[in-house]
Structure 1
């Protein structure tokens, strides 16, 4: 009798493992986020009527986030440096969804101009009366070898990606503490969990954000209504590559390369919005094998270092050879186009 029960339990466990393995092979996000997307609270329930301030909203992930939040019925504060692009995003929100003109505020913002951040925050609060969610999405990436890169590039990355985000958070968080609720969401990167060759400064700025918000979260245990959410996408189609820093601050990237292997912006934001609707503290968003890689980094760091050296070496070799450094590791590389 006992042997029969053990046999049944064994086969049941084996089936569960195989099912989970099958799900993981096809996954494009971590298990917690998969659960929230499938079974959690829907965005149009959790986010309808909420005031969401998005930085970096003039293109890429920030623009798509504005559209999907508008579809869920959220009211929006759209910020970036390019006011004309923000007006375009606002107009699209109004034409495609049920929002009215008063539901979307265009608020031009320069993350580097930290002296202006208190005034910008007050403007958002005067307009809507409250801020329910801040999405720190603004920032730039990097392409270049450390030995060839000016220190000024590293300073610019930290000023923009790290200190700019901290500065806006510094202005919004006291308001959320007073109202007793809110979400501070920051678009980090898998590069903030595991360093990426050719993006040493970008990785450093994202590691800094991870460390800052992971330290801030326990400081807010007295305000349980506030959620600190870290969003860590892998390769995603967006404008961040086109706008990347190179070896010199004033030198632009000659070519963004082939991005067809990357996750679509729409799918990435679908997962982000599902996680935000369910107040997840951290989200890993990526196709395989990059999702597997971050799990290996989390649970088997020795193996992760071996893989990092192998794959990172290939990435650097391709870059030096004038090939697309950002192309998939496991496909034939394509030469850069001019």
Structure 2
């Protein structure tokens, strides 16, 4: 039996090594290698909110490379035009197949008109990617309630309201795909960003319910849970106070190991192509924490509490220097 023992040990070691090099959940990694490629989305009309920077911008590049018809939305029209030009220059799209549609997702009065404009140009909406959102760094006890409300407006109520405007069109066509950029913190809470974590947990609940409701209408719902990604998201992140942002110095002072935005966008495109229900995209140790929180919550909670002291103190020190 000694050979069997050694075989089991070698298999366990091999699994640990394989898991250690993954930057997405196991099913997503399988889909990337053996599943449908993003080019199955060619000619699909994909509407991306928050497309002027970060993950939304790079997802636009991924989809432009396979020839999707794109609708790019955000508040900054000049940045959207920049992204459009890059899509045309480097992708398989033309001027007429990329639509720039300025939109503030928290201005609900704009939603119906925006949907109408997209349908007027492209006649259909195959995929809606609710990517617009905002991060936050603050201690729970310090947060003004108005900050909580503002984060829920942009991260939850805006995407939900826009989805409800698009949904009747998809139901009528018996086809469609709703994609939400959530966060790995939608699976577990972390200190110093309680309001942000709460918004992502809320979106998880909305989407899980919606997925079951629209299944019979042939509409898919995908929740993408990225971990830390290289972007400028912390620059505009909320703090504890209304109207305040972290600013550029936070990116260096409060940063952690982050995956390249291009890689995250590629895996997101894979998830959309394969109509995955939920995916986790992150480097370790955050990906490991997600598995731990999902399958061994008591151990995760213990480790989170043990590791939080240093994180909280580091934030307090940064805050004190800034003040």
TM bin (shorter chain)? over 0.9
Does the CA-based 8 Å contact 1:257-1:337 persist in structure 2?
A: no
Change (3 A) 1:300 1:133: same
Q: Specify whether residues 13 and 277 from structure 1 end up closer, same or farther in structure 2 by C-alpha distance, changes over 3 A only.
A: farther
Please give the residue correspondences for 1:167-316 in structure 2 after superposition, counting only pairs within 5 Å. Answer: 167-223=161-217, 225-254=218-247, 255-258=249-252, 259=255, 261-316=257-312
User: 1:317, 1:248 → 2: CA distance?
Assistant: 19
TM-score for the superposition, normalised by structure 1 = 0.90
CA distance 1:277–1:336, change in 2 (3 Å): farther
When residues 36 and 205 of structure 1 are mapped into structure 2, their CA distance, relative to the original with a 3 A threshold, is same
Report what 1:329 is aligned to: none
Q: What residue in structure 2 maps to residue 70 of structure 1? A: 64
Gaps of 5+ in 1: 324-334
2:32 to 20, 23, 37: 37
- Secondary structure at the aligned position of 1:322 is classed as helix
Aligned-pair CA distance for 1:149: 1.6
Give matches, 1:59-138, under 5 Å: 59-138=53-132
**Which moved further from structure 2: 247-256 or 56-65?**
247-256
How many pairs align?
Answer: 320
Report the Cα offset of residue 230 of structure 1: 0.4
Between the aligned partners of 2:75 and 2:245, the Cα distance in structure 1 is 18
Runs of 4+ in 1 over 6 A off after TM superposition: 335-338
Aligned to 1:331: none
How many angstroms apart in 2 are the aligned matches of 1:294 and 1:234?
Answer: 9
Gaps of 5+ in 2: none
Q: What is the alpha-carbon root mean square deviation over aligned residues?
A: 1.9
Q: Any idea what the Cα deviations from partners look like across 1:197-223, whole Å, max 9, x if unmatched?
A: 111111111110001111111112322
Rounded Cα–Cα distance in structure 1 between residues aligned with 2:258 and 2:244: 25
Structure 2 residue aligned with 1:326: none
Contact 1:136–1:185 (CA under 8 A) maintained in structure 2: yes
TM norm structure 2:
0.94
State the secondary structure of the residue aligned to 2:178: strand
